[in-house]
Amino acid sequence: MTEVVRLREDMCRAAASLFTRGLTGGASGNISVRLPDGGLLVTPTGQSLGALDPGRLSRLDATGRLVEGDPPTKEMPLHEAFYETRSRTAAVVHLHSTHSVALSMLPGVNADNLLPPLTPYAVMRLGKVSLLPVYLPGDPAMGEAVRGLAGRRSAVVLANHGPVVAGASLEAAVYAIEELEETAKLALLTRGLSPRLLSPDHVAEIVARYGVEWE
């Protein structure tokens, strides 16, 4: 099995898992993975993550030109911006997961760090999560907003839209976006209840011990 064939199968398997567990519905959400030749393998536009065909995934060359498969997701500006600004990025996952979207619509949230420090794993896997403004789907301005972060964030949430996470592997990106959604759910469940948060000292210890990007 070649590396590209393995990545095709891994992408479809991860996408189906996310869809089956209700983390994105309908034809929403998209995934991309960096290929050994510098190109990208991308989920096609308008297709459900629960029913992808490995042979029809969009394959782009290193210049972004479609060389094989169906047309890619219209959210390519998001993906391209993460690859351009974070050299360690090997995969990008974008979902329309319910709790993350709900949290993004509430007043009084911290746009620089959307998730409260509720669990160690949220800090470890995500660092700070920036809340970006509302954009129409596919708007190139989404990519410019990510570029404006200058590579300082591996995860963002588009207001009224959904989370986007870049990872050092497809597995890492999937695990991180799952952690983001679970933490958003915890934030909603405990909102207004004065939950016991991790202390600044606990956060600082996690950041130092696990090399978390935290500015």
Between CA 208 and CA 111 the distance in angstroms is: 23
User: DSSP letter string over 31-82?
Assistant: EEEE-TTS-EEEPBTT--TTS--GGGSEEE-TTS-EEESSPBPTTHHHHHHH
pLDDT higher than 80, residue 31:
yes
Based on the residue annotation, tell me whether 75 is a catalytic residue of this protein: yes
Kindly state the average pLDDT of the residues 116-142. Answer: 96
pLDDT, one tens digit per residue, over 51-102 is 999 999 999 999 999 999 999 999 999 999 999 999 999 999 999 999 999 9
pLDDT-derived band at 1, boundaries 50, 70, 90: low
**How many percent of the chain have pLDDT more than 90?**
97
Residues facing residue 165 across a β-bridge? 93, 155
Based on the residue annotation, tell me whether 171 is a catalytic residue of this protein: no
Which position among 9, 83, 84, 121 bears the catalytic label? 121
Whole-prediction pTM: 0.96
Q: State the chain's mean pLDDT as an integer.
A: 96
pLDDT higher than 90, residue 5:
yes
Which position among 75, 178, 181, 182 bears the catalytic label? 75
